């Protein structure tokens, strides 16, 4: 057995044009990612519409996540999580500009 260890809040990269996404684990049923955002947001008129459910938690920083049909973005801070079922359109309205926003995202390959 090979053990793999790390720290989700360690080695946070400096700001870049794109979010930093690292796949931590991939199985036939799930993909787990660490995402680091520095004042990133979805481009205008872009919506995520994913084939798989996604569970996200903000570990540090903050973000505004807008679900299609809702009037305002949901503010997520450290410890806040959200389960987004497959094909629920959503977008990142903003992430913190004064510090990195670190997310843990679990993409589930089976329907809920």
Q: Would you give per-residue pLDDT tens digits along the chain (112 residues)?
A: 788 889 999 999 999 999 999 999 999 999 999 999 999 999 989 999 999 999 999 999 999 999 999 999 999 999 999 999 999 999 999 999 999 999 999 999 865 5
Measured CA to CA, the distance from residue 14 to residue 12 in angstroms comes to 7
* Sheet with 90-95: strands ordered across: 74-76, 63-67, 90-95
**101 is a domain residue:** yes
Which CATH number does the domain housing residue 96 bear?
2.60.120.10
pLDDT for 26 equals 94
Which alpha helices (H) appear in 1-112, and where do they start and end? Answer: none
Q: Please indicate, yes or no, if residue 88 is contained in any of the structural domains.
A: yes
Q: How far is CA 87 from CA 6, 57, 83, in A?
A: 32, 19, 12
Residue 109: its pLDDT value, please?
83
For residue 97, being part of any structural domain is answered with yes
pLDDT of residue 112: 52
Domain contains 7? no
Domain annotation covers residue 10: no
The total of structural domains in the chain comes to 1
Range of the domain at 33: 20-108
Query: How much is the pLDDT for 67?
Result: 97
In a domain, 46, yes or no: yes
Report pLDDT for 111: 57
Whether 24 maps to a domain, the answer reads yes
Phi first, then psi, for residue 96 (nearest 5°) are -50, 135
């Amino acid at each position: 057995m090979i053990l793999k260890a790390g720290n989700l809040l360690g080695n946070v990269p400096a700001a870049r044009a794109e979010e930093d996404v690292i796949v931590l684990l991939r199985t036939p049923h799930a993909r787990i990612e660490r995402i680091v955002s520095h004042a990133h947001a979805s481009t205008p008129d872009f919506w995520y519409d994913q084939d798989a459910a996604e569970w996200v938690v903000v570990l540090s920083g903050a973000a505004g996540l807008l679900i299609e049909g809702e009037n305002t973005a949901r503010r997520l801070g450290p410890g806040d999580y959200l389960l987004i079922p497959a094909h629920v359109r959503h977008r990142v309205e903003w992430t913190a500009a004064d510090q990195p926003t670190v997310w843990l995202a679990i993409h589930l390959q089976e329907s809920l």
